Chains A and B, each alone.
Chain A
């Protein structure tokens, strides 16, 4: 049997092209292996071969979803792969979204198996877990050593159309698929056994985990904007020049509360971004591009809004854990409420 043909997708960073300053890199096809493909090659042995690697900048892909998808699909089609693999994306949100989008498209358009790998808090997991196999990884590239073997193993199985085991066995994120199996004990017996274990305080494994929905009911609309007090919040890392609280450029361990009461607009003199997950050139030059203080001051003057709150809240939403983000907002949402803020505009990069 000839070798399984693999096409691999990487972002600009993992392809070694560059960081955020290269995130607008357009789709590119390279013959053979690039970067993390080496780790996969080692695992594949003689069974499979990465015939080509497609590279695209994370910003370019997410900002030009349609064109980029079409270009990339064309490149993949021409390479006639038996399987398509993307990532691992670890905890990189835009990279995860790109990997998932392309995998889903390839699966639907070309009808071949696809596979990606991400950290559980990567938004790409919730976006695509129902559509794809996504191998579980650590939150940073330090997890490549365990990610590569798991990806390669499942990829070979998928390409050879072997039976795929449950998520725990194969190491992929739960997809919400139920499978009928025969058990030697009746359901009633298993249920009673489980109940007894529960009553005794022993460990047990449920056969039907309840889904966790965490939707928040939308708040009522603002009735009279001309009397409303608006506050700005951002995950785009806008901070006073010099970053006095030293908010980290990624995995932020804090947020900041900053006074803008005297400012008609943010400028490169007053403010900058602490965010390490996008090219900071544009935000540093004109921070209103991320936190629109100037526009809201105009609206305050014209009476479109009542007032702009004297403080804004900011953190860096780059690899910052969901638990931390939640804790920050829990804290400052109460302050906003106590300060009589009517509504919030939250900007993200």
Chain B
């Protein structure tokens, strides 16, 4: 799906936990996520902390979309 969206000319960031799979599939902008059942959250954190974590991950996604890339890039921070 990532590739077809990109092919349509829309920049797309793939946020997922198993980064090697995303690389194999062919995503160009990749943000590593937390865990498979909760990529953008963490049930072990208090609710407020979890929201902050999610805001940070989404911010990483936005930064990835704002960055020019010429090949597959993992935005890891």
Residues of A at under 8 Å CB distance from B?
20, 23, 59, 62-63, 93-94, 97, 123, 126-127, 214-222, 225, 228, 233, 235-236, 278-283, 285-286, 288-290, 292, 294-296, 298-299, 304-305, 315, 325-326, 328-330, 333-334, 336-337, 341-349
Contacts and interface: CB of A to CB of B under 8 A. Distances in A.
A97 B16 contact: no
Interface string B16-37: 1110111011111100010111
Nearest to B35: A63
Given A294-B51, A329-B4, A345 B11 contact: no
Contacts of B4: 326, 329-330, 333
18 contacts: A20-B37, A23-B36, A123-B20, A123-B21, A123-B24, A220-B11, A220-B68, A221-B65, A283-B38, A289-B54, A292-B58, A294-B51, A294-B54, A334-B8, A345-B58, A345-B65, A346-B12, A347-B16
Interface residues of B, number: 51
B49 interface: no
A285 B1 CA distance: 26
Contacts of B33: 347-348
A17 to B, nearest CB: 17
B11 A219 contact: yes
B1 A325 contact: yes
A326 B2 CA distance: 9
A217 B4 CA distance: 11
Given A280-B37, A282-B41, A346-B15, A93 B1 contact: no
B6 A347 contact: no
Contacts of A217: 6
A295 B58 contact: yes
Nearest to B5: A333
Closest A-B pairs by Cβ, 3 of them: A289-B41, A329-B4, A333-B8
B16 A290 contact: no
A343 B65 contact: yes
Contact of A221 (B8, B68, B71): B68
B66 A221 contact: yes
Nearest to B18: A62
B21 A59 contact: no
Nearest to A213: B26
A333 B10 contact: yes
